[in-house]
Structure 1
Amino acid sequence: MSEQRTTAHGGMETSYGFRQVGEHEKQRLVNDVFHRVANRYDLMNDLMSGGLHRLWKDAMISWLNPPKRPGWRALDVAGGTGDIAFRILEASRENAQVTVLDINGSMLGVGRDRAARAHPGAAIDFVEANAEELPFEDSIFDAYTIAFGIRNVPHIDRALAEAFRVLRPGGRFLCLEFSQVEMPLLDKVYEAWSFQAIPRIGNAVAGDGEPYRYLVESIRKFPNQENFAAMIRRAGFERVTWRNYSGGIAALHSGWKL
């Protein structure tokens, strides 16, 4: 089992889990994973985090602290099913304008259905597009959020550059992602759970363990907290910091366009 994480200088472009693939092949393979798990996405995150992803997402929105005034705009990338967008709407008392962007139409379909039920009439729209080439003008969003999605983007540096471009001066970047466990013993327990249990449970529950195997492997390949922070700084963000959750199973990175 390969455990080598990619660095701040890249490597995720050709990493499909532990497999090396062509640079133009990864996006297709990742798209296929999310077409297959779209209807069970929350279940997938429950399996991979023991249900803790819900608390981490709540903490993300608490740190973002969306204002309760009209006109504040947020872009949630790789958020097709709406988990983060709905939390932003609720925290802002539906004053925020939220755009959900995802490259995967199946994920967006789940989000649109959920929005129609939970937030009819709210200022939320869904856009199918690539995080590496955002279809928006410069400097129009107050916040850019992405949760458990950045490691699935082939060219992370391009996505970060696009995040910086579309944010207004004073805008906030927040990224929640599985990261490197920094607590002794917990890292061994989490590794055993991830590589031995999750694909088997995915196969039993969803009838398909392969997508879960890729997702577990992609976590292990993703840069650690400091290396990812270096990538965010390189994109132009300032005051870059992060908070670890559950011993580093997940990390929330923050940066500002100043």
Structure 2
Amino acid sequence: MSDEQVYFGDEQVAPAEKTARVGRVFSSVASRYDLMNDLMSGGLHRLWKDRFVGKVNPRKGEAILDMAGGTGDIAFRMARRGADVTVADINPDMLEVGRERAGKRGLDGLRWRVENAETLNLEDNSFDAYTIAFGIRNVTDIPAALREAHRVLKPGGRLYVLEFSTSEWPGFGNAYDLYAENVIPKVGEAVTGDGDSYQYLVESIRRFPRMAEFERMIGEAGFERTGHEPILGGLVAMHWGWKI
């Protein structure tokens, strides 16, 4: 990792400091993470995740790595379709929440690993699909994470990313920005006691590349047949690419 500064929200910090601070953010909010997702999106995140998993189209017996899988929302959906899912996250606290949720749902076939998306301790050519939902923008070195995704996928494997972006609907993007800036940190403070972490999350969304730029980054990591599909004009977007 270079010594150049990177953005932690709107603040520029050393790369190692960003990684550490992101870890503290998610440790702080882990226990209320799913509740906050419902409150921030009005429950829409559940529909977005259903649509995303439908796009991934996991099949019985497929080996899938769900990176930044944290509390298991994506992994549970794919496991119910018969996929062999490894849930990876850099944050042990998020994984612990996911394990508890899996136990309550009777999903005992998932694998759970503490992993840094930039330096995966996983073999080359070992997964049929790699998914990451609402996690790539928190990675310190996004190009490195995309290259690692390419490395661990089998030839013919596919990458799918679900992430916030910038809505291109006239007026809607600006309205959401106002809502995010003025409401989400206050709700986060009320629900989790940590408004600062949600201020960071708002800022990280604003700084994430626009859809076409992120698709270009996926191609530069070695993926082919790349594409993206906006949701709500691009407020959220699905991205994909294939290892050919």
| TM band (smaller chain) | over 0.9
What is residue 23 of structure 2 aligned with on the other side?
Answer: 31
**Deviation of 1:120 (Å):** 3.7
| 2:183 alignment partner, SS class | helix
Write out per-residue CA displacement over residues 171-213 of structure 1, whole angstroms, 9 at most, x where no aligned residue.
Answer: 0100000001110110121011100011111111222211100
Does structure 2 retain, via aligned residues, the 8 Å contact 1:35–1:107? yes
Does 2:9 align with 1:17?
yes
**Equivalent position amino acid for 1:15 in 2:** Y
Does 2:45 align with 1:53?
yes
Gaps of 5+ in 2: none
**Deviation of 1:51 (Å):** 1.9
**Equivalent position amino acid for 1:77 in 2:** M
What is residue 114 of structure 1 aligned with on the other side?
Answer: 101
What is residue 36 of structure 2 aligned with on the other side?
Answer: 44
What is residue 196 of structure 1 aligned with on the other side?
Answer: 182
Runs of 4+ residues over 3 Å off in structure 1: none
Measure the CA separation in 2 of the matches of 1:55 and 1:82.
Answer: 15
Aligned runs of 1:100-139 on 2, under 5 Å? 100-122=87-109, 124-139=110-125
What is residue 4 of structure 1 aligned with on the other side?
Answer: none
Measure the CA separation in 2 of the matches of 1:17 and 1:47.
Answer: 21
Distance change >3 Å, CA 217–CA 141, structure 1 → 2: same
Write out per-residue CA displacement over residues 14-65 of structure 1, whole angstroms, 9 at most, x where no aligned residue.
Answer: 1010011112210000000000000111123223323211111100111111
Aligned residue pairs total 241
Does structure 1 retain, via aligned residues, the 8 Å contact 2:159–2:242? yes
What is residue 161 of structure 2 aligned with on the other side?
Answer: 175
Q: 227, 233, 237: which one pairs with 1:247?
A: 233
What is residue 65 of structure 2 aligned with on the other side?
Answer: 75
Gaps of 5+ in 1: 1-11
| 1:24 alignment partner, SS class | helix
